[in-house]
Structures are given as structure tokens and as C-alpha cells.
């Protein structure tokens, strides 16, 4: 295979990549009262640099109130054999506005610039979709899960964009009986895609009404797709074990059928796999206990807002956004995870209100792991309206970013004492940081086909 496209030939090759020295993370003003655009912050994390652990540039989007959230590259290891492609542009959607910002990170990686905006109004008009979430490159094309129709009703669908960032249309041929959308990941060698469920944009965007879970306004199913036919073929009803299944992660190994999803409200990890007869199964493998709180009438659920797998598929990391801990599990046997590490930062249980001299408002939320598995970066804001409900002080304190050092041999985690980025001290006022990516790809950006 010609080795001149983006990314790496395999997960094993990706693990040998040079250490990441720049981080890109979303920072938002939506919902804060500060009338400034959301932006992509570039952070220097080269310990040898004079600006180590600082925001070194800010690429603002044109609008106000977009709510930048998740993002993805224009190209990844799925086009490793295509020398015409390069990992140059981040696609950064606004969940509320549906605008998709194409940010050029390749021309000057330390100072990304806005290249193009796909107008949310155009997306709504051409596809009847809104509320973009997960971005995955797929060979030279890009698909984005869209959580609503143009009026914010579920289930939405999938937006298909070509490599010139033009709208092709809808990617899926059918949504079947799917009620809600959220995250997705695919494993082409098994002709499978798995999608999860949050809620309709009109339900989750204004904030979280717990009562709406009981009224079936939030998801509790995951969906297995025939990837080539672009239509769902099987649904797993997870029930009370799988309330609000969010982040979907397959093993990085493209030959594996094992995958995982974190059920946020149930605070469980669900594992699925295909048996030798070709039948798919699921099971609950991790159950985070609710914790008592002196001021709460009921115990506090963990609210697993994210999960992530190391590039060698050995460790699973999860965040309990309300409890305030990040956990590391050895999933060498995916049916029997072993709890190997834990750190605390922020959260409602009061176990670590201040870390590295910064008051942590919010809890561990989005995480990103270095390709070699040794450095885990964590941010604290979940979603503007939900932040405002559970951690109202985040308006004045802003979010923060920390680094966790991970022991990849024996398991274990500890907070790095040299690295902290306090988004409470941003020039335009306290902002909130969310998803992080690196110029060379990371542990949630690349899929091998």
C-alpha cells in the first residue's frame, strides 16, 4: 500500500506517532451571557515551549449562539492509501445554529483559520435536518449525525458532505423505526454501523427535565445498521440499563466486532459483539453505583457523559460528570472489565473541588487520549443549558482543561501537576471548553476500513 495519505496504516502504527504538541478544543460563550462567538482554542502542550499549558490562538466563528460541541476531521486513516487527501480541515458544527464551520488547521497549525461555513439554513432547506453532532470521515466523504429535522423534531438523520464541503444530501436510505439520533461509529469489515440515542433537539436543547425520561422523550435503544445498504437492521432495547446511551466506540482493531456505549443516566457501560454464527449480542459490563449526597433526596447518578478506548483496545475510560471521577478499566477481556484506575476533579460529591490551583466547575466531561495512550486530556463543560442546571457557577468560573497521566503497563491514572488551562481567564470572559482533538489524529477520530 502506498503510504502517503492521512493517518496511519493501522492502530499499531498510530501508537508510534510523535507526541501531540498542540491541542484543539471547542470553547463556548453560548448560554453564558457573554455576547461573543464560540471559538476553537489552540493550546500549546509542548512541555519544552515557553507557552506550555496556555491558549495560544483563538479561531472565532462568525455567529453568536452556535453552541460548538463536537467536531471531526475532513480525512483520517480511512483514506490512508489516498495520496490526494490530507488531514487539514476540522469540521466544527454548531448544534443550535446547524452551521458547519470548516476550519483550516493545516496551513498554520498554531493559528487555525476559518475556511468556509456551510450555512445551517442551507442544510435545513436541502435535507430537512438540523442539530449536527458527530462528524466521521468515510474515505474521502464525510457523514454527520443530525439529531433533528429542520424543526428540531427527532429522529433526524445523517448529512452527507463531499470532500469539497458541498452538501450531497442525506446519507441514509432509511431511518427505519429509530426514534432518536446521537453518536455513531462503523466497522466496515463487518458491514456494521452502530448508532445511539440522546433525544430530540427540542427536548434536550432547553435543558434536562428528568420527568421527560419517563415520558420516553429520551433514548434507551441502540441500533445496528447494514452499513452498505445505509439502513438500520436490528435494534437493541436496553431498557432501564441503557437510559440515554451516548458515546459509541468500536474497538480500533478493524477486524474486531466488539464495541461499547456509555448509558449516561443509567451510568452503565453496554458491550456488544458478533458471535461465530454472525448473531449480535449485548450485555451490561460496568454499573456505576449512584452516590448519596447530603442535599439530595435521591442518590446522585454518575451520568457517564463519555467513554473512550485506548488505541490498543486495552483500556476503556469513562467520565462520571456528576460524581466527578474518571475511571480506567482494563478491557482485555471485554466481557470482564477490571477497574484499574480513578482520578477525581470537580463534580457534585465534593471530592476534588480544586485541582492544580484551579477551582473545577463542572465535572470530567469530554476526554481525549494520546495515540500512545499515556496522556488523557479532560474538559469540564457538557452542554450550555445542562451546565447551567447542574453547575450554575460555571457562568462565572468557566471551564478548565487538565491532563491525566495514564500507566499503560500496569493500569492507574494520576493528574499531571504541570498542566492546567483555566478557561475562566479567557480575554473575553469565562468560556467553557468541550471536545479536544490533535493535529495528527487521536483516539476517537480515525476508523480503519
Residue 277 or 298 having the CB closest to another protein: 298
Pattern 33-72, another protein, x by CB under 8 A:
x-x----------------------------xxxx-----
Closest CA to 267 of 233, 318, 315, 200: 318
Task: Give the range of 16-24, 290-298, 334-342, 372-380 binding another protein by CB under 8 A.
Answer: 290-298
Burial environment of residue 245 by CB neighbours within 10 A (0 to 12, 13 to 18, 19 or more)? buried
Shortest gap between Cβ of 404 and another protein (angstroms)? Answer: 27
> 393, 361 in Cβ contact below 8 A?
yes
The DSSP string of 188-214 is: GGGTEEEE---B-HHHHTT---THHHH
Task: Give the range of 100-108, 210-218, 254-262, 276-284 binding another protein by CB under 8 A.
Answer: 210-218
Give strand pairing partners of 22.
Answer: 44
Site for another protein in 3-32 (CB under 8 A): 30-32
Grouping H, G, I as helix, E, B as strand and the rest as coil, residue 259 is strand
Residue 5 or 93 having the CB closest to another protein: 93
Shortest gap between Cβ of 22 and another protein (angstroms)? Answer: 29
- The correct pick among 54, 140, 256, 388 for binding another protein (CB under 8 A) is 388
Pattern 310-349, another protein, x by CB under 8 A:
----------------------------------------
CA distance 268 to 302: 9
Residue 51 or 151 having the CB closest to another protein: 151
390 near another protein, rule: CB under 8 A: yes
SS3 content of the chain, % helix, strand, coil (to 5): 10, 40, 50
431 near another protein, rule: CB under 8 A: no
Closest CA to 290 of 250, 322, 248, 261: 322
Shortest gap between Cβ of 152 and another protein (angstroms)? Answer: 4
Number of residues near another protein (by CB under 8 A): 40
CA distance 377 to 22: 12
Cell reading at 240:
432501564
> 136, 73 in Cβ contact below 8 A?
no
Residues 6+ apart with CB under 8 A from 211: none
Closest CA to 339 of 358, 362, 315, 322: 315
- The correct pick among 21, 69, 88, 96 for binding another protein (CB under 8 A) is 96
- The correct pick among 271, 395, 434, 437 for binding another protein (CB under 8 A) is 395
- The correct pick among 25, 57, 78, 130 for binding another protein (CB under 8 A) is 130
Site for another protein in 217-276 (CB under 8 A): 217
Site for another protein in 166-195 (CB under 8 A): none
Residue 398 or 441 having the CB closest to another protein: 398
Shortest gap between Cβ of 290 and another protein (angstroms)? Answer: 10
Closest CA to 203 of 244, 170, 166: 244
- The correct pick among 205, 311, 366, 433 for binding another protein (CB under 8 A) is 205
Task: Give the range of 5-13, 180-188, 246-254, 289-297 binding another protein by CB under 8 A.
Answer: 289-297
Shortest gap between Cβ of 156 and another protein (angstroms)? Answer: 13
- The correct pick among 175, 286, 300, 371 for binding another protein (CB under 8 A) is 300
By residue count, the chain amounts to 449
Residue 152 or 242 having the CB closest to another protein: 152
Cell reading at 312:
490498543
The DSSP string of 47-107 is: TTSTTTTEEEEEEE-SSSS--B---EES--GGGTT-TT--S-EEEEEBTTT--EEEEE-SS
Contact positions vs another protein (CB under 8 A): 30-33, 35, 64-67, 96-98, 130, 150-152, 201-202, 205-212, 215, 217, 295-298, 300, 384-385, 388-390, 392, 395
Amino acid at each position: 500500500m502506498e503510504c502517503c495519505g492521512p493517518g496511519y496504516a493501522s492502530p499499531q502504527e498510530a501508537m508510534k506517532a510523535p507526541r501531540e504538541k498542540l491541542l484543539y478544543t471547542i470553547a463556548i460563550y453560548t448560554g453564558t451571557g457573554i455576547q461573543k462567538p464560540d471559538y476553537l482554542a489552540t493550546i500549546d502542550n509542548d512541555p519544552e515551549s515557553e507557552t506550555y499549558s496556555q491558549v495560544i490562538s483563538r479561531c472565532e466563528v462568525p455567529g453568536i449562539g452556535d453552541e460548538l460541541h463536537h467536531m471531526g476531521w475532513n480525512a483520517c486513516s480511512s483514506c490512508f492509501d489516498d495520496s490526494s487527501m490530507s488531514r487539514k480541515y476540522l469540521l466544527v458544527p454548531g448544534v443550535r445554529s446547524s452551521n458547519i464551520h470548516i476550519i483550516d488547521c493545516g496551513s498554520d497549525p498554531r493559528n487555525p483559520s476559518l475556511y468556509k461555513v456551510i450555512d445551517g439554513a442551507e442544510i435545513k432547506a436541502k435535507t430537512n435536518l438540523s442539530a449536527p453532532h458527530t462528524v466521521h470521515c468515510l474515505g474521502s466523504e464525510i457523514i454527520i449525525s443530525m439529531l433533528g429535522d429542520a424543526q428540531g423534531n427527532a429522529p433526524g438523520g445523517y448529512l452527507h458532505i463531499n470532500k469539497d464541503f458541498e452538501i450531497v444530501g442525506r446519507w441514509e436510505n432509511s431511518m427505519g423505526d429509530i426514534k432518536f439520533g446521537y453518536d455513531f461509529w462503523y466497522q466496515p469489515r463487518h458491514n456494521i454501523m452502530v448508532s445511539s440515542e440522546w433525544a430530540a433537539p427540542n427536548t434536550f436543547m432547553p435543558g434536562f427535565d428528568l420527568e421527560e425520561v419517563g415520558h420516553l422523550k429520551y433514548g434507551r435503544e441502540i441500533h445496528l445498521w447494514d452499513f452498505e445498504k445505509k439502513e438500520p437492521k436490528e435494534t437493541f432495547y436496553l431498557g432501564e440499563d441503557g437510559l440515554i446511551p451516548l458515546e459509541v466506540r468500536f474497538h480500533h482493531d478493524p477486524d474486531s466486532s466488539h464495541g461499547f456505549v456509555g448509558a449516561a443516566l443509567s451510568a452503565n457501560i453496554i458491550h456488544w459483539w458478533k458471535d461465530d454464527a454472525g448473531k449480535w449480542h449485548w450485555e451490561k459490563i460496568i454499573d456505576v453505583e449512584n452516590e448519596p449526597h447530603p442535599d439530595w433526596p435521591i442518590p446522585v447518578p454518575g451520568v457517564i457523559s463519555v467513554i473512550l478506548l485506548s488505541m490498543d483496545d486495552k483500556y476503556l475510560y469513562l467520565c462520571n460528570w456528576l460524581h466527578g471521577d474518571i475511571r480506567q478499566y482494563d478491557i482485555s477481556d471485554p466481557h470482564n472489565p477490571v477497574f484499574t484506575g480513578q482520578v477525581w476533579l470537580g463534580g457534585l460529591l465534593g471530592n476534588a473541588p480544586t485541582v492544580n490551583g484551579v477551582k473545577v466547575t463542572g465535572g470530567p466531561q469530554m476526554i481525549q487520549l494520546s495515540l500512545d495512550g499515556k496522556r488523557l486530556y479532560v474538559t469540564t463543560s457538557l452542554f450550555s443549558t445542562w451546565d447551567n442546571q447542574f453547575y450554575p457557577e460555571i457562568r462565572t468560573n468557566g471551564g478548565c482543561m487538565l491532563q491525566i497521566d495514564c500507566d499503560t503497563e500496569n493500569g492507574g491514572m494520576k493528574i499531571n501537576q504541570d498542566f492546567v488551562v483555566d478557561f475562566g481567564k479567557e480575554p473575553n470572559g469565562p468560556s467553557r471548553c468541550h471536545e479536544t482533538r490533535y493535529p495528527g489524529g487521536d483516539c476517537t477520530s480515525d476508523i480503519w476500513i
